[in-house]
Chain A
Amino acid sequence: MNTTTAGAAKPFAHAPEPTPETLPFWEGARAGELRIQRCRSCARHYFDPRPHCRHCASADTEWTRVSGRARLVSYIINHRPAPGFRDYSPVIAMVQLDEGPTLMSNIVGVEPLPENLPLDLRLEVRFEERGEAVLPVFAPAAPDTDEPNAAAVTTGSEETRQVTA
């Protein structure tokens, strides 16, 4: 899966700089896949990236593509975004993947109001271009889909129109 380049990509001041240990995560995002490390010894997924298992310290680990399904753990709705973030979702959220790990992300595809964001809301991953970067973000899951919609790639400006509509 390739990312789209629809829309004028604005420079993004806070693009992540991958390290050798995290590069598969960011390469996955660019390919429209959410990739998380999994331990072969204890069969658990873990985050954030490192060469050995966070749970059992085994070095027998692999990068896997995960479902992209998640639930909303907690969040804020930021009314004073940092410079360069006005075009992006103000919902800064902790999301727990169905495979176990929790990530910080943004919630897109929904008007950023508390009534739209009950805790434990079911989510699915999307991929959003911010300048040269591609980030995994999350949207409320469509109730009738069991498969993750990992193919959906949107730009920040498109998301902004949805979010602020």
Chain B
Amino acid sequence: MTTTTSTRPRGMHGGTVAVAGAAETTEIGKRPDTSVLGLHIEAARNALADAGLTPADVDGVATAGPSPIDVAHHVGVTPRWLDGTAVGGCSFLSHVRHAAAAITAGAAEVVLITHGESGRSQVGLPGRARSASSPPGQFEWPYGAIAPYMKFTVPALRFLHERGMGREDLAQVVVAQREWAAKNPRALRQDLVGVEDVLAAPMIAYPFSKDMCCPVTDGGGALILTSAERAADLRRPPVYLLGSGESAESTLVSQMSDPGSFGASRRASSEAFATAGLSQGDIDHLMIYDAFAHLPLYGLEDTGFVGHGESGAFIADGHTRPGGRLPVNTNGGGLNYTHTGMYGMFAMQEAIRQLRGEADAQVPGVRTSFVHGYGLFFSAATSLVFANERP
């Protein structure tokens, strides 16, 4: 292993650690042929092939859903570092942050992070972790707040009400992101729509119509992280981790400290910018976890890309669309591209494609990408700053 003589700050951020391999499962959407664990294995093998590595090169494994023990065993890794952090859809973003710390500390050299879910086909599910005695089991499920569209959506009316916004602002999110999806052959929903179409779609949970809710799909993805020095010797252009942050509030949506703004998002994004030494104006490309159409609105404001109450107009004015000054959710987002259940891995995959210059809806000249993920509805949040050059 080479040592660096650079004068840049030591630590897990600033480009010390890089993504050396990244891939999704070969097909996404409908995979009744493959179990959850099978999707993890397929994604892992695709990411290893992308990096030009084999399971024998990997010494760390992180995942959420199945145990990292199962993933290590079935991929063929003998681990000396494991991370089973399971905080919902942003778990895989947190794994990146944790892996960077481990690699920097010498606790692992090459970390495999896997995601796979059979959200649509329900094949080989790893089992439900919570019971009727858990906080949600006692204080949310008895009221019918069980599935994501019944829980994650509940605070949205307050957000809109506080800002003088409405259902049209939710619809504009879908309209804007569908323009990106139309450029992505792998996206499930590719048809362009207008605001009236989205508003008139069948109601799922007022104020959310069907188009404002993500589909439920099968698929997976994986990343290979290692030191920037090791990554420089591998076959793909490294994507560097410049900054990261994570936080949490409660597994009960009702216990958000402010239903109109997610504290964990504010803290995670603030730390990610601080550790990267960058501000919002330095970011070329943004991915915001969007299981539902209110999340890009919350996300734009809570990560500081726009001010309080400005998110709706920012999207309606076209700034996040193709040709806009801040491209957002360029794979179409979870709303249109795919959403297996814990979407965060796919948000990172698109950021990495954009930074490598190989996205289907490639934005010219992307040098930095900010990825913001939510976990277990409004329970947890993680932010990452990636770049294709070391600062």
User: A16, B139: Cβ atoms under 8 Å?
Assistant: yes
- A60 interfacial contact with B, CB 8 Å: no
Instruction: List A53-97 residues whose CB lies under 8 Å from chain B.
Output: 73-82, 85, 88, 90, 92-94
Residues of B within 8 Å of A104, CB to CB, are: 139-140, 143, 145, 154, 252-254
User: B139, A114: Cβ atoms under 8 Å?
Assistant: no
Q: Known: A94-B253, A94-B259. Contact between A79 and B205, CB under 8 A?
A: yes
- B131 interfacial contact with A, CB 8 Å: yes
The stretch that binds A, out of B92-100, B156-164, B281-289, B322-330, is B156-164
Q: Encode B226-270 as 1/0 by CB contact (under 8 A) with A.
A: 000000000000000000000000101111000100000000000
The stretch that binds B, out of A17-25, A34-42, A143-151, A157-165, is A17-25
Q: Known: A80-B149, A94-B254. Contact between A103 and B139, CB under 8 A?
A: yes
**Would you give the shortest CB distance from A54 to chain B, in whole angstroms?**
9
Q: Encode A1-43 as 1/0 by CB contact (under 8 A) with B.
A: 0000000000010111111001000100000000000000000
User: A88, B144: Cβ atoms under 8 Å?
Assistant: yes
Measured in the bound complex, the distance between the Cα atoms of B133 and A22 in whole Å is: 9
Instruction: List A98-134 residues whose CB lies under 8 Å from chain B.
Output: 102-106, 114, 119, 130, 133
Across the interface, name the chain B residue whose C-beta is closest to A137: B143
User: B206, A76: Cβ atoms under 8 Å?
Assistant: yes
**Would you give the shortest CB distance from A24 to chain B, in whole angstroms?**
13
- A135 interfacial contact with B, CB 8 Å: yes
User: B139, A48: Cβ atoms under 8 Å?
Assistant: yes
Q: Encode B190-230 as 1/0 by CB contact (under 8 A) with A.
A: 00000000000011111110000000000000000000000
Measured in the bound complex, the distance between the Cα atoms of B153 and A24 in whole Å is: 29
Q: Known: A76-B154, A103-B254, A104-B254. Contact between A19 and B133, CB under 8 A?
A: yes
User: A48, B133: Cβ atoms under 8 Å?
Assistant: no
Q: Known: A76-B154, A103-B254. Contact between A82 and B144, CB under 8 A?
A: yes
- B135 interfacial contact with A, CB 8 Å: yes
Measured in the bound complex, the distance between the Cα atoms of B144 and A88 in whole Å is: 9
**Would you give the shortest CB distance from A90 to chain B, in whole angstroms?**
7
Contacting A22 at CB < 8 Å: which of B138, B141, B156?
B138
Residues of B within 8 Å of A88, CB to CB, are: 144
Give me 4 other A-B pairs in contact (C-beta within 8 A), A74-B157, A135-B143 excluded.
A17-B133, A76-B207, A79-B202, A119-B161
By a beta-carbon cutoff of 8 Å, the part of chain B in contact with chain A is 131-133, 135, 137-147, 149-151, 153-159, 161, 202-208, 250, 252-255, 259
- Per CB-CB distance, the 9 closest pairs between chain A and chain B, nearest first, are A74-B158, A17-B133, A77-B206, A16-B138, A104-B254, A85-B144, A76-B205, A17-B132, A14-B141
By a beta-carbon cutoff of 8 Å, the part of chain A in contact with chain B is 12, 14-19, 22, 26, 47-48, 73-82, 85, 88, 90, 92-94, 102-106, 114, 119, 130, 133, 135, 137
A-B contact pairs, 28 of them (CB 8 A): A14-B146, A16-B138, A17-B137, A22-B138, A47-B255, A48-B250, A48-B252, A73-B155, A73-B259, A74-B259, A75-B157, A76-B150, A76-B205, A76-B208, A77-B205, A78-B144, A78-B149, A78-B150, A80-B205, A82-B144, A82-B146, A94-B253, A102-B254, A104-B145, A104-B253, A104-B254, A119-B158, A133-B142
